[in-house]
Structure 1
Amino acid sequence: MPGQLRMIDCELCAPVVAAPASSLRLIANRIVASREEMLLVADHAPMTLGHLLLIPRDHHTGMASFVAARPDAATVIGELTRRYRHGFGACTVIEHGSGGTSSRAGSCIDHAHWHLFPFANELRPIVDDDYGASLKGLDSLTQFSRRYAGQDYLLHWDHDGARAALLDAPAHLPQYARSVVARHTDASARPYDWDWALRTDDELLGRTLDASRRLLTGHDSAAQLIEQESTTGDMT
């Protein structure tokens, strides 16, 4: 049904996951912002403070296909990513989108989702090393949807602009967005260090929810958050 997460066999659509109702990991408990078209939620196993997911309510396997089906969603995406940048001071988006057939994108969940991280362009060298010249610049979400809807692709969008590559070979690593952050923060990271099914950090998840809800509603500034984090522990 339009406007509802609706694929019962999809990990992001399913209204109930294998966790108690009180768990922070339940999607309903991780919502930071909601719109008719989409949700902004904390990743249930965040890689860094501020790791959020932008998820369409309708089931699509790639955000490009979602924007192609709902062109009005580009306005909402722009609003939510601007709010993220305003709150956290920077935003990097990574998505391994699937065309809906035999995905080579490296995502373990078939429901479209953008990973949002509070980086400016720190992850770019890793992505460039992996994909190099195959990444093509994008001028707009409309161009992105027209070029990549129904395709397997990698999207990388940071302070220096949006780029995407068609995937005609398997992604370099499974859970690619998570692996990039792991390699940026810890060169010795092993796959299980970023595997969302194995990683557990409820303390970081709780901090991400609290920070996101405060920053995205304008209650605090990024500078205030950094000062508070410095008194309670290093930002992850």
Structure 2
Amino acid sequence: MVILDVAPITAGHALVIPRLHEHSLSILWRDLSEKLEQVVSAVVTTLNNETGKAAIICEHGLGSEAKGHAGCVEHAHLHIIPFDYPLLSAFSHAGINFTQTDNLLDITKIPPTQQYLYLRDTDGLQYLAVQEKFPSQLVRRLVATQLGELYWSWRDYLDFSDKIGTKQRIIEGMKLFAHLNQNPVFMDDL
């Protein structure tokens, strides 16, 4: 399913969420890859048409035996964020080393005790970073920093510290999602 992020970093910030409960997409990828790619492609195309922006696609996931949970949410979800700036260099400055990948099935090979970050940058290239643990909400923090935003934690948005800005992003996102919901790809379950 595709939903609007409750605390969007940009207007149209969406989450793609499978109905099957797992901690990360690495566990579900073999079964859902074709459908997931269809949904992601449709969301990115629609958001690009509506906003004129490229998008970054990312997941902070776990290997099958990693302890704890990735980020803050214990259910697999993929972020799609309308964004015009490449994010790979921001990750490098944060000390995160990515390896370029051409095949998303590589996430199924993540060592079971490790966490990973998946990034499809604005240029469409795909990257994986694997280590024992990543900082929580790292992607949100890096995107907010690039935009000059003070607030990046979804908790800050839920406190509505910036009520007007948050409200505006949610309203803009809802308008974008009105178009998304007309696409039959979104009516199917993942």
TM-score over 0.5 for the pair: yes
d(CA) in 2 for partners of 1:86, 1:122: 18
1:194 is aligned to 2:152: yes
CA displacement 1:164-201 (0-9 Å, x = unmatched)? 11122x42x421121111111017x3xxx122123132
Describe the SS at the equivalent of 2:128.
strand
Q: Which runs of 4+ in 1 moved over 6 A?
A: none
- The answer on whether the counterparts of 1:84 and 1:91 sit within 8 Å (CA) in structure 2 is no
1:78 is aligned to 2:37: yes
When normalised by structure 2's length, the TM-score is 0.77
Partner of 1:234: none
Give 5+ residue unaligned stretches, structure 1: 1-38, 219-236
Describe the SS at the equivalent of 2:66.
coil
1:114 is aligned to 2:72: no
1:209 is aligned to 2:174: yes
- The answer on whether the counterparts of 2:67 and 2:113 sit within 8 Å (CA) in structure 1 is no
Count of aligned positions: 169
1:175 is aligned to 2:137: yes
Q: Are residues 198 and 144 of structure 1, via their aligned partners in 2, closer, same or farther at CA, if it must alter by over 3 Å?
A: same
Partner of 2:47: 88
Q: Are residues 131 and 114 of structure 1, via their aligned partners in 2, closer, same or farther at CA, if it must alter by over 3 Å?
A: farther
CA displacement 1:45-80 (0-9 Å, x = unmatched)? 10101100111111111111121xxx2411111111
**1:112 is aligned with what amino acid?**
A
Partner of 2:118: 155
d(CA) in 1 for partners of 2:155, 2:27: 26
When normalised by structure 1's length, the TM-score is 0.63
**1:83 is aligned with what amino acid?**
A
Q: Are residues 110 and 215 of structure 1, via their aligned partners in 2, closer, same or farther at CA, if it must alter by over 3 Å?
A: closer
1:166 is aligned to 2:130: yes
**2:67 is aligned with what amino acid?**
S
Partner of 2:186: none
CA displacement 1:15-38 (0-9 Å, x = unmatched)? xxxxxxxxxxxxxxxxxxxxxxxx
In the TM superposition, residue 148 of structure 1 has moved relative to its aligned partner by 5.7
Q: Are residues 63 and 102 of structure 1, via their aligned partners in 2, closer, same or farther at CA, if it must alter by over 3 Å?
A: same
- The answer on whether the counterparts of 2:47 and 2:176 sit within 8 Å (CA) in structure 1 is no
